[in-house]
Amino acid sequence: MTFLGEAVIGPQPAVPGDPEIGGLSSISYIGGDVYYAISDDRGQRGPARYYVLSIDLADGRLDPGDVAVTGWHELFDADGEALLPDTYDLEGMVALDDNLFISSEGDAAAGIEPFIAVFGPQRRMMEPLGLPSGFAPAADGSSGVRNNLAFEGLAITPDNRYLFTGTESALAQDGPPATPEAGSTARILRFDRDHGVFDAQFAYPVEAVHSSTPQAGGLEDSGLAELLALSGEHLLALERSFVAGAVPEPSIKLFDVCLAGATDISGIESLAAPDIRVVPASKRLVADLADLVPRLDNVEGMTFGPRLASGEQTLIFVSDNNFAPQRQITQILAFSVAPDAIRGCTPR
């Protein structure tokens, strides 16, 4: 991968009264120089929304003036009403024709379930995709997604058949979240659009947290933040680790992931059960972004962009500033990807 440059988006909207720009957790390439980026604002700074970005890579570089926020759109419930604040935490988005697939982490601490839903041409929620059992958070925390560790990533295959999502970390019944001493086991879910069902689940080994915090009670977090689907068995996975007070605080790594040969764990209630043995997805490090860029923030989203005049594919990343512009930025990073950087899917 070759670094093409960085641009930073400021928090102030171009139109006074519009919502603050921030919390960009996913980015989706639409065509030309147009991208959509969803905000994970839970309704505290504005309505549920996504932004329209212009990213100009015509000269094969990304410079500070090459990115602009050109608009934003509100998302609505099935009745065309505003989504109620604190009932969602929108993290992943995929655009397909006039529809949007959007994932929400929910709020496990408040008993609000995660969801993946289709929003139609009027940006109304048409239908949620029925989740398999085991993902809804139990009131006692014994099962289901953990708070703020649910569906971060969302991806669709080039033929539009399969939609993928993944938990950021292990379900409560599957084992502990990642620590500086050990990784975690997330679940990748595959939805077959031809049949309208989640047809498979796979164990995904999340890396350990990259460092230990020097701060008492400081955040130590690591998880699966985003996915790109190359086929029904071949993915790119973005893992994001963050440690308060560490140098550096974030660690962002890109992996080539193969599901061929991995165990379908759909029928396994708990991966932590003593008699359970599964073959997880295999993964290979493609790039540690810290080796390629001069600075990194809280990168959470990625998408393939246009091809360059050279024929190389571009790969675009966006960071979530957590609505803390005093210490974090909304960062757009661009790379070109050599044909041999992604080697394809070879089962174990």
- In this structure, what CATH number is given to the domain that contains residue 153? 2.115.10
The token duo for 275 is 């008699």
Q: In terms of residue numbers, what domain contains 37?
A: 2-337
Q: Specify the amino acid at residue 40.
A: D
- Is 253 within the bounds of a domain? yes
- The counts of H helices and E strands in the chain are 0, 20
Instruction: Specify the pLDDT at position 347.
Output: 61
Question: Is the pLDDT reported for residue 344 higher than 80?
Answer: no
Identify the residue whose tokens are 């109304």. 124
- Is 294 within the bounds of a domain? yes
- Is 63 within the bounds of a domain? yes
- Is 345 within the bounds of a domain? no
- pTM for this predicted structure: 0.95
173-176, Cβ contacts within 8 angstroms, sequence gap of 24 or more = 173/134, 173/142, 173/143, 173/144, 173/269, 173/270, 173/271, 173/272, 174/270, 174/271, 174/272, 175/271, 175/272
State the total domains in the chain: 1
- Is 151 within the bounds of a domain? yes
Question: Is the pLDDT reported for residue 317 higher than 60?
Answer: yes
- Is 315 within the bounds of a domain? yes
Mean pLDDT of 122-132: 93
Cis? peptide before 121, omega within 30° of 0? no
> Among 213, 203, 289, which Cα is nearest to 246's?
213
- Is 188 within the bounds of a domain? yes
Average pLDDT, the chain: 94
- Is 343 within the bounds of a domain? no
Instruction: Specify the pLDDT at position 45.
Output: 95
